[in-house]
Amino acid sequence: MSILVFIEHKSGTLNKTSLEAIAAAQKLAADFGQQVSAVVLGSSSLAQEIAAYDLEKVISAESDQLADYTPDAYAAGLEQVVRNANPQFVIMSHTYLARDFAPKVAARFGKGLIGDCIRMSVDGGKATFTRRIFLGKLDADVVSEGEPPTFVTFQSGSFRGDQAVKGSGAAVEAMQVEVGEVRMKPEAPFQEAKQAVDLSKADIIVAVGRGIKSKDNLALAEKLAEALGGDLAASRPICDAEWLPIDRQIGSSGQTVAPKLYVAIGISGAIQHLVGMKNSQTIVAINKDPEAPIFDIADYGIVGDLFEAVPVLTEEIKKLKG
């Protein structure tokens, strides 16, 4: 048995989270005494590039219909590679693309994915995968049962891409795959009107979440941001409610930031938000719920009413800077 790792790309450009998937697969392979093969769908040039990693081989699945991503074509391609390679594990990054087609592949093997994992451990020949449930409030240890293959996806940041081990040049094996009918017709991907605000360069960010309760209360956070000389940002629900424009949104569907100081006000810390800010240097969280996941990554925390804490914090900062 072996381990198969899925490599994602956009028009031949590697999605860097796939290096994290390689690192995860290599770790699992070391624990099980197995080897890792990689699969690239529809880009032979990327298959060559990936061959630089310490892999048994790189399978380059080829078909004219794999030029553009569609769930039908990708599911057909990956299914054939998996049936042919017969791996014990199929490892992927939990990207939007994987979410879109990987469950379809797993379903053809009569199962789902062990999806969005953040850790794994191997003990006595048994792998345990940890995933977050209840929007990050709890962790669940999950084991795979039944026949292989086991499909596992890892959340971005669970492994480090720079720890994917390079090798002496893996063999690239071309494989023609039959795709059949593709029912979805994609148009070209695009970005909405240029983002007006680039928060990725901000030194200080004050971000608000659901706990702020109303649009009028945003003024509290604005005053704090002003006192700190920082920018105002928000979690998704605030932008969904149109209290702040979408270019202020931090998280997987918004901007990824790593400022010197990140102040999270009334943000519980759903995974989708955390991935966008967890690399901030100093993280402050103010939240009434002591179990809020944001406290898992916070350096400083205040458990309590933000409407009491924020005005005092603003005044204190003005005094210190004054």
Interaction residues for another protein, span 262-301 (CB under 8 A): 268, 281-286, 289, 291, 293, 295-301
Does residue number 122 form part of the binding site for another protein (CB under 8 A)?
A: no
**Closer residue to another protein (CB): 139 or 163:** 139
**Closer residue to another protein (CB): 51 or 261:** 261
Instruction: Supply the minimum distance, in Å, between the C-beta of residue 70 and another protein.
Output: 8
Find where tokens 């590697």 sit.
Answer: 14
Indicate which single residue of 138, 165, 171, 219 sits in contact with another protein (rule: CB under 8 A).
138
**Closer residue to another protein (CB): 64 or 187:** 187
Question: How many CB atoms are located within 10 Å of the residue 31 CB?
Answer: 14
CA angle at 17 for the pair 177 and 103, rounded to the nearest 5°: 50
Integer Cα distance of 42 and 142 in angstroms: 32
Instruction: Supply the minimum distance, in Å, between the C-beta of residue 57 and another protein.
Output: 27
Indicate which single residue of 124, 168, 178, 183 sits in contact with another protein (rule: CB under 8 A).
183
**Closer residue to another protein (CB): 174 or 184:** 184
Confirm if 20 and 159 have CB atoms less than 8 A apart.
yes
Give the torsion sign (CA, 293, 299, 301, 306): negative
Instruction: Supply the minimum distance, in Å, between the C-beta of residue 37 and another protein.
Output: 22
Indicate which single residue of 37, 60, 88, 150 sits in contact with another protein (rule: CB under 8 A).
150
Integer Cα distance of 266 and 287 in angstroms: 5
The burial class, CB within 10 Å (0-12 / 13-18 / 19+), for 176 is: exposed
Site size with another protein, rule: CB under 8 A: 97
Question: By C-alpha distance, which of 67, 63, 47, 45 is closest to 7?
Answer: 47
Does residue number 316 form part of the binding site for another protein (CB under 8 A)?
A: yes
Indicate which single residue of 179, 237, 257, 277 sits in contact with another protein (rule: CB under 8 A).
237
Which 7-26 residues touch another protein, going by CB under 8 A?
none
Does residue number 157 form part of the binding site for another protein (CB under 8 A)?
A: no
User: b vs e for 303-316, b when ≥16 Cβ sit within 10 Å of the residue's Cβ?
Assistant: eeebbebbeebbee
Which 55-114 residues touch another protein, going by CB under 8 A?
70-72, 75, 95-97, 99-104, 106-108, 110-114
Integer Cα distance of 36 and 81 in angstroms: 14
